[in-house]
Amino acid sequence: MMGYRKSFVIFLCVTVIFIFSLKFFFLDKYFEDMDIKAYSIHSANQMKKGAQYLFSKLSNDVNNMYMYETQKLPYCDLPNDLGPYSIKIHDSFDNTSALAFQYANFALGGHNKPDNCTALQKIAIVIPFRNREQHLQIWLYNMHPFLQRQQADYGIYVVEQYGNSKFNRAKLMNIGYKEAVKEYNYSCFIFSDVDIIPMDQRNLYRCSKNPKHMAHSLDKFQFRLPYKTLFGGVVAFTKEQFLKVNGFSNMFWGWGGEDDELYERVVAAGMQIERAANNISKAKAVLHHRDIGNERNPKSVPLIKKASERMHIDGLSSLNYTVISITKHRLYTKVTVDVGLPEKDIY
Ligand code: UD2
Ligand code: MN
């Protein structure tokens, strides 16, 4: 009996050793299909047993896998042949169907990103809008190819003011910000008029260290800055920069001044604005008449003067609106909103 037991134990030991050595022998293969966690734990045990050669392999593989997990694609580089951009404008931009077809692989809502690389910034472009269909078509037609050339990860938000009340461009910008952040992890916000189109692909639609003014070299102003503190047309803010100024004021009804007030906020928040070089910032402003419902705002000057006093209570933090509809078109997301009526003169 004793002899039988002894040989059984020996047989068991040999079998166990055999299985372990097989496992060790086929270790590389064995690990290949395992997930990263099991891989590290198991390998750590093996290393303790002296399998040092595994160490370098393990750390390499873990590093590679980690890279794969966190950054599936390399970061995007800008193409090095960016240059003057020829804008296409003709009368037949009455619908975007042909263009929509061309970009049929877009995610609905005008969201697009490069296929082969990871963009560093996620950009929401917010366009205030009412009754400017023709300009919108021109903008979309030219800007989608432009942004794609710049390897942008971006979404287009056209924020339409519903009804006939006085136009409130600034409030529409705030609404665009609020609605965009609900949809995607945007890090950069470009607030753009519907009628301005860059003429050079080196004019980067990106955010910068400071809030950026991007419409300082317009054809309608002979490519010169009309006044130093102009901050209208197109501006770019990182999320942090925009939160720091509490967004735009909600109190500008009708044409003018809301851009100057935003400039005052930037300065009051201790920031400076920046502008890219004139020669690469040239842009086209499509000419038009003043819209009905957007007459000059007579109250803008006193509001601009008190920007720094008001900025923390008037802006994103006090924004009120009602969404009428959100429509995902192929080339843009349209957010139609009721912006309400002018608040009482309380400031
Ligand atoms: C200047 C500024 C603009 C803004 C405005 C005063 C520049 C280059 N532009 O533009 O940023 O400060 O003065 O408010 O500095 N809109 C509609 N429907 C309307 C009215 C306006 O969609 O009925 C939108 C549209 O996106 C338009 C923008 O609001 O581009 C600005 O209005 P504008 O084009 O009438 O003002 P403009 O060209 O004088
Ligand atoms: Mn305009």
Q: Where are the beta strands (DSSP E) in 67-225?
A: 122-129, 153-161, 188-192, 196-198, 212-213, 217-218
- How far apart CA 143 and CA 331 sit, in angstroms, is 10
- Per-residue model confidence (pLDDT) at position 59: 45
52 and 101 both lie in a single domain = no
Residue 256 CA, ligand 1 centroid: distance in Å: 8
Element (H, E) at 278: none
Within a domain: 311: yes
17 pLDDT higher than 90? no
Residue range of the domain that includes 222: 97-338
Residue 284 CA, ligand 2 centroid: distance in Å: 10
Within a domain: 181: yes
| CB burial of residue 178 (10 Å; 0-12, 13-18, 19+) | middle
- Per-residue model confidence (pLDDT) at position 57: 42
- Per-residue model confidence (pLDDT) at position 179: 98
Region of poorest pLDDT, from 88-92, 170-174, 264-268, 334-338: 88-92
53 and 118 both lie in a single domain = no
- Per-residue model confidence (pLDDT) at position 6: 82
8 Å CB contact between 200 and 149: no
The better pLDDT of the pair 95, 326 is held by 326
Within a domain: 233: yes
47 and 114 both lie in a single domain = no
Within a domain: 162: yes
Tens of pLDDT, residues 79-127: 999 999 999 887 665 556 677 767 777 788 999 999 999 999 999 999 9
12 and 120 both lie in a single domain = no
- Per-residue model confidence (pLDDT) at position 165: 95
8 Å CB contact between 337 and 175: yes
284 in contact with ligand 1, CB cutoff 6 A: no
- Confidence tier at 46 by pLDDT (50, 70, 90): very low
32 and 120 both lie in a single domain = no
- How far apart CA 299 and CA 316 sit, in angstroms, is 21
158 and 109 both lie in a single domain = yes
245 and 318 both lie in a single domain = yes
Region of poorest pLDDT, from 77-81, 102-106, 177-181, 336-340: 102-106
> Whose atoms come closest to the Cα of 132: which ligand?
1
Within a domain: 305: yes
Q: Work out how many domains the chain is built from and give that number.
A: 2
Q: Enter the pTM of the model.
A: 0.81
- Domain end, chosen from 54, 70, 86, is at 70
- Confidence tier at 190 by pLDDT (50, 70, 90): very high
Specify the CATH number for the domain of residue 282.
3.90.550.10
Within a domain: 84: no
- How far apart CA 175 and CA 193 sit, in angstroms, is 15
316 and 259 both lie in a single domain = yes
42 and 179 both lie in a single domain = no
- Confidence tier at 310 by pLDDT (50, 70, 90): very high
259 in contact with ligand 1, CB cutoff 6 A: yes
24 and 173 both lie in a single domain = no
Within a domain: 85: no
Average pLDDT over residues 285-303: 97
53 and 141 both lie in a single domain = no
128 in contact with ligand 1, CB cutoff 6 A: yes
8 Å CB contact between 249 and 261: yes
pLDDT cut 90: percent of the chain above it = 71
8 Å CB contact between 190 and 215: no
294 in contact with ligand 1, CB cutoff 6 A: yes
Within a domain: 244: yes
- Per-residue model confidence (pLDDT) at position 173: 99
Distance of CA 280 to the CA centre of its chain: 22
20 and 113 both lie in a single domain = no
Element (H, E) at 78: none
